[in-house]
A = this chain, B = another copy of it.
């Protein structure tokens, strides 16, 4: 679809003289789209060269995909034949851009004529050449501008012989040059051989705070299966923390065949509720709701109530089945059948997942399969859902995702997909390139300062930023890291700050997170003890030690400081104590600057010196500035690049400083913005 030439203007059969190469940004030669959100600036650049010494002009052309008219922005040469421009994308959906460049005859003539006049070499013949160029531009122009150009061409021509000085003055007039710039001869313009795609999403693709919650554990009474109605009652609690996405694990009927019991036991008792990811039973599959949660009406009520509180419900898209899912009976051709006639369950030898059968994407009947899988997404879109968290996308073909996401976004460009692929880096990147709006990351396992700095520099300061939008989760129902198991409450506090400020998008699995649940099923395992994946849990969300207020402050800081709403400006700063990590984010205009310092050691108070690169933060060497800690609301007045930091994990393991510049100083008192 992309990467193919779509001529921006009819071309003449003449060989091109201008070459446009090394275009940036582009992914795999235009094979994949770069990602932006609505209103973003797209900065583009290219090497543009031609033979000879003539003057070139170049433009970037862009438009929403499918529109006919290109928008054109002039490019500016910088150094070493590099040209630049930028434009804004102002609608959600696919956009494309390409380039055109040409040898500008009038600009060349004008440059040379100026040199001739300066050296007294201008002749009437040179002036007649100029007049001819102006007259031809008049033919390309229309209306008053055409008349004006013709008038000027005639004037130059008339005086070329008689009064060459006057004619030169006329021909080199600045106003004429501007007018000529509107009507260049582009018949021989080079058109860049590709149109490059941009996926423009709504803002939430870049900036989002997710809260994952098991509806069945929302019951206010221990032991009772939670319902959508219970979820509705829980919404104010989630909204008060400041989240904007409420993500629910699968809400579908849960398989009975080979159902798992508590703590992942292979034998389920009669009361065991099973894993929500073992989707499908006699009650239905991916388009049905687990009876215990409520009805479709209840679900609509939840989605609506959430929206009214600023929360958008995200569903889980887990393309796999319990052995008793209706698909297995109705479409055995979509599954692997073993020589003994049984359906192949999921395994990664020696591990076996008997409660789940994977879909066979190699099936000859892939067209029908893909159509049905797409239909599931459309079904839930029909029920008001616009965000999907996709379970294990790396075990389904890349080509499937590319197709599915493009199909959905063609009609619903506001739909977002979060890839839950914890796998090898290049596989994660490939999935993002194929269309996922956001991606889980290795954040949960990056603990040391160098690990975090290296990883987030890769994600935010390399080409990866063009297609991979990180979503940072300190925990998930599958991931209780050693750091959280051993670090106590301070570790949860620190990881929440890191997630919410390193990542413009982040999420927590609650209430386990804010209640600092840290018991693992056994030492060395990242599985929760009594995991909600296999049983109901009752959470006392009113506990005094809950981190809900800490989290609310993080989300408030994110909302009030635009610099925390994207990742592109992330920069690490040095400290003389390796237990600290320090970094900043800022907006382009430096109107919003935040510096975060975290003590990564959850057990010990640490102190040390932080060195900031002042200029990058909009600060001056000899002027004091105020560091306003948005977590504690304390304000410190600092001066110069080096300042002292002390963080006691027993109190608070992190500062989230809003940098406030001095706006005036009176009677020895400084005032800060």
Contact = CB atoms under 8 A, between A and B. Distances in A.
A15 interface: yes
Contacts of A609: none
A81 interface: yes
A84 interface: no
Interface string A12-23: 001111010110
A49 B399 CA distance: 12
A362 B188 contact: yes
A205 B478 CA distance: 60
A399 B350 contact: no
Contact of A19 (B350, B398, B425): B398
A16 B400 CA distance: 9
A15 B366 contact: yes
Interface string A393-425: 111111110010000000000000000000011
A567 to B, nearest CB: 23
A31 B29 CA distance: 10
A51 B424 contact: no
Interface string A374-398: 0000000000000000000111111
A14 B362 contact: yes
Contact of A53 (B16, B53, B115, B348): B348
A28 to B, nearest CB: 6
Interface stretch (A124-132, A208-216, A579-587): A124-132
B366 A397 contact: no
Nearest to A393: B51
A339 B132 contact: yes
A50 B396 CA distance: 9
Contacts of A340: 125, 128
Pick from A14, A15, A118, A362 the residue with the most CB of B within 10 Å.
A15
A426 B78 CA distance: 14
Interface residues of A, number: 57
Nearest to A15: B399
A119 B351 CA distance: 10
A308 to B, nearest CB: 39
Contact of A361 (B17, B81, B118): B17
Pick from A118, A132, A395, A427 the residue with the most CB of B within 10 Å.
A427
Interface in A128-171: 128-129, 132
B17 A398 contact: yes
B121 A51 contact: no
A430 B49 contact: yes
A338 interface: yes
Contacts of A125: 338-340, 342
A424 B81 contact: yes
A214 to B, nearest CB: 27
Copies per complex? 2
Contacts of A132: 339
A80 interface: yes
Contacts of A116: 349-350
B81 A426 contact: yes
A47 interface: yes
B427 A119 contact: no
A112 interface: yes
Interface in A41-73: 47, 49-53
Contacts of A17: 361-362, 397-399
Contacts of A112: 347, 349
B49 A427 contact: yes
A80 B430 CA distance: 13
Given A362-B188, A400-B15, A350 B51 contact: no
A424 B15 contact: no
Nearest to A400: B15
A188 to B, nearest CB: 7
Contacts of A349: 112, 115-116, 119, 121
Interface string A187-198: 010000100000
Contacts of A350: 115-116, 118-119, 121
12 contacts: A14-B362, A15-B403, A19-B398, A21-B28, A28-B29, A49-B424, A49-B430, A50-B398, A52-B395, A81-B424, A119-B349, A188-B362
Given A28-B29, A119-B350, A125-B339, 5 more contacts: A14-B364, A51-B361, A81-B427, A125-B340, A128-B339
